[in-house]
Structures are given as structure tokens and as C-alpha cells.
Chain A
Amino acid sequence: MPCSSMTREVFLLRAFEAGASAVVVLVCPEGTCRYLEGNLRASKRVARVKKLLDEIGIGGQRLNLFNIPHGDQSAADGIITQTISDLAKLGPNPAA
């Protein structure tokens, strides 16, 4: 995506419909969005979907947003590793 602000709520939900047990959204650090508010908008949408996932009963903790600088591969690797580790406790998506 050209900017995390293009992340729409329905994309996140459909990822869980497709069987994902966890979803991570990686956005630029605060104050560095080249479109000024993109990462803030993404953050609000992720918060909304987390709440929806709680209401659905799947658990909002399966969806998380992280701020990482563009191109920081080691940070991305660390986040994915942690997410997979967290999944061991959460278990698979109950709606998969």
C-alpha cells in the first residue's frame, strides 16, 4: 500500500475470514507520515477493528499495529517473531 491510511477495516476482517489467526499492521512512526495523518488514521481503524474482534468473540489481541521506520527489516522480523510466539498462547482463530 502507498500508505497505511489505505488500510480499510474490511481488509483486516477479511484476513480473519480467510483463516488468519493474527494480523499485524506496520505503519510509519508518529510524526513521520509523508501524508501527515495516514498512520493516525490507520491507528484509529485498527483500534475499531480490535474492538469489533472482541465483540465477535475472536479477541482483539490478535490484531496489532506497530510503528516502524520504513525499511527496518530487523524490527519487522522481531514483530513477526513475537506475534508467532504470542499465537502459541492465543491458539488458532476460532472462526477459521
Chain B
Amino acid sequence: MIVGEQKPLAEIKAHVSSYSRLLILGCGTCVKTCFAGGEDEVAILASSLRLAFKKDGQTIKIDELTVERQCEDEFVKEASAKIAHTDAVLSLACGAGVQMVANRYARTPVLPGVNTTFIGILEKQGLFTENCLGCGNCVLGDFHAICPLSRCAKKLLNGPCGGSQNGKCEVNRETDCAWQLIIDRAKAFGQLDELATYVPPKDWRTSYAGGPRKLVREDHVI
């Protein structure tokens, strides 16, 4: 999932303070799962902003709506009635969703309420960790399903740096050394020898470094 974190209240308040009618638009998929922008978070933020503005003697009319996904126009369309009666939209979706909303509602300011951070997993309750960079050329098959690009601080492809201690990364002691994990898994499968195969430098052109990417599925285009 895409993981994000809601922006600080003070930052959001500053960005919306010039509008007298605001719609807080939540997203019911990734950001709901990481407790940044789902229906509950929309309600909490709306209430917090109303209190904050009232404390300052200002009135702001805040409406609330959460759609299934803001990255799909079919769902974003559902917000049209409410957006017609607002001065601005505060989207709690990831960056993709914010832009999709702005794309459809070109005459309404659309502001982000979430900092989109990474593609990751729910490692355990309350802990989300990054484990995919979206590099565009997945090589997890070469590393026993542990990604050295997203999980090794140095993005090494041909073995550990030698700086790890007790299985922890020398760059960040709270992070597991990805290469320790790869080696442990290779050993468990009896395939340690395969790690001796040389892996050439990563071609980053398939990642965001090559510019905005596109995927066209002709079989789905009518």
C-alpha cells in the first residue's frame, strides 16, 4: 500500500485559513489503512479545524466526504455535488489522488492534507515499513524476495557493505540489514551459492528517475 502521514494541524490550518467553505475529502483505500486520510481521519480533522478556528474567533464551514479511491475518476466524480458548494478541497489522499481531484475540478483549489511517504507494508500493528521503491524492474526473484534497493540503505546489489552489526544496518541501527535477511533466506533455501552471481548496476531509467511513467493496457481500452 501507499503509506502517508497526515500533515501537522498547524500547517493544514495555515493553508486553509483563507477559505470560508472547505471540503475535506478522504480516501477509503491506502490512506485509510495507514490512518492518515480515511473517513475517521476526515471527521477528526474537520472537528479539530472547527475548534481551532472557533478558538481564534473565525468561522469556517467544513464539509466532509470520503470516496472509495481518489486515484480513480469514477469515484472522484461522486464528490461533484459537494465540491460545487465549496471554496476549496483539502484532499487527504496520496499525491496521486490529490492530482486526480484537481484534474477533474480545475476551477476549485485542491490542497494536500497528507504527506505521501512510501510504498510499504503493515509490519505489525501500528508499524508501517517501506519495502518497495517502484523501480519498474522488479528483481526480487534474484534476492529471495527481499529488496536490496528499498531495504538496503546503500542500495547494494552484490552483497553486504560489511558495516552491519548483529544484523542491523550501520546507517540506521533500528533497521535490519537487508543483506543479512537475504543471506539468511538464501541459506534456508540452500541457495547461498546463487548470491555469488554478479549483478550489474541498476538501470534506473524504468524508475521515476526516467520521468513520469505510463502504463497502457490496450486490452482494456475500448
CA distance A10 to B43 in the complex (A): 6
Interchain Cβ contacts within 8 Å, total number: 40
Interface size range of chain B in the complex = 10 to 19
Specify which chain B residues have a CB less than 8 angstroms from the CB of A95 in the assembled complex. 51-52, 54-55
Q: How far is the CB of A83 from chain B (nearest CB, A)?
A: 19
Of A10, A16, A55, A94, which one neighbours B10 at CB under 8 angstroms? A55
In the complex, the chain A residue whose C-beta lies closest to that of B9 is A55
Of B44, B50, B56, which one neighbours A52 at CB under 8 angstroms? B44
B206 interface residue, CB < 8 Å from A? no
In the complex, the chain A residue whose C-beta lies closest to that of B49 is A56
A8 x B40 contact (CB < 8 A): yes
Q: How far is the CB of A41 from chain B (nearest CB, A)?
A: 11
In the complex, the chain A residue whose C-beta lies closest to that of B10 is A55
Of B8, B44, B51, which one neighbours A58 at CB under 8 angstroms? B51
Using a CB–CB distance below 8 Å, which chain B residues touch chain A?
8-10, 40, 43-44, 47-48, 50-52, 54-56
Instruction: Give residues of chain A (41-84) contacting chain B, Cβ–Cβ below 8 Å.
Output: 52, 55-58
Specify which chain A residues have a CB less than 8 angstroms from the CB of B40 in the assembled complex. 8-10
Specify which chain B residues have a CB less than 8 angstroms from the CB of A52 in the assembled complex. 9, 44, 48
In the complex, the chain B residue whose C-beta lies closest to that of A8 is B40
Instruction: Give residues of chain A (78-96) contacting chain B, Cβ–Cβ below 8 Å.
Output: 94-95
Of B8, B51, B56, which one neighbours A17 at CB under 8 angstroms? B51
Instruction: From A16, A55, A56, name the one whose CB has the most chain B CB atoms within 10 angstroms.
Output: A56
Given contacts A10-B43, A14-B47, A55-B48, 14 further A-B contacts (CB under 8 A): A9-B40, A9-B44, A10-B40, A13-B47, A13-B48, A13-B51, A17-B54, A52-B44, A52-B48, A55-B9, A56-B52, A57-B56, A58-B51, A95-B54
CA distance A14 to B51 in the complex (A): 9
B47 x A10 contact (CB < 8 A): yes
A56 x B44 contact (CB < 8 A): no
Specify which chain B residues have a CB less than 8 angstroms from the CB of A14 in the assembled complex. 47
Specify which chain A residues have a CB less than 8 angstroms from the CB of B51 in the assembled complex. 13, 16-17, 56, 58, 95
Given contacts A8-B40, A52-B9, contact A57 B55 (CB under 8 A): yes
In the complex, the chain A residue whose C-beta lies closest to that of B39 is A10
CA distance A10 to B10 in the complex (A): 18
B55 x A56 contact (CB < 8 A): yes
**7 smallest A-B Cβ distances: which pairs?**
A13-B47, A95-B55, A95-B54, A10-B43, A56-B52, A95-B51, A55-B9
In the complex, the chain B residue whose C-beta lies closest to that of A10 is B43
A-B contact pairs, 11 of them (CB 8 A): A8-B40, A9-B44, A10-B40, A13-B44, A17-B47, A17-B54, A52-B48, A55-B10, A55-B48, A56-B51, A58-B51
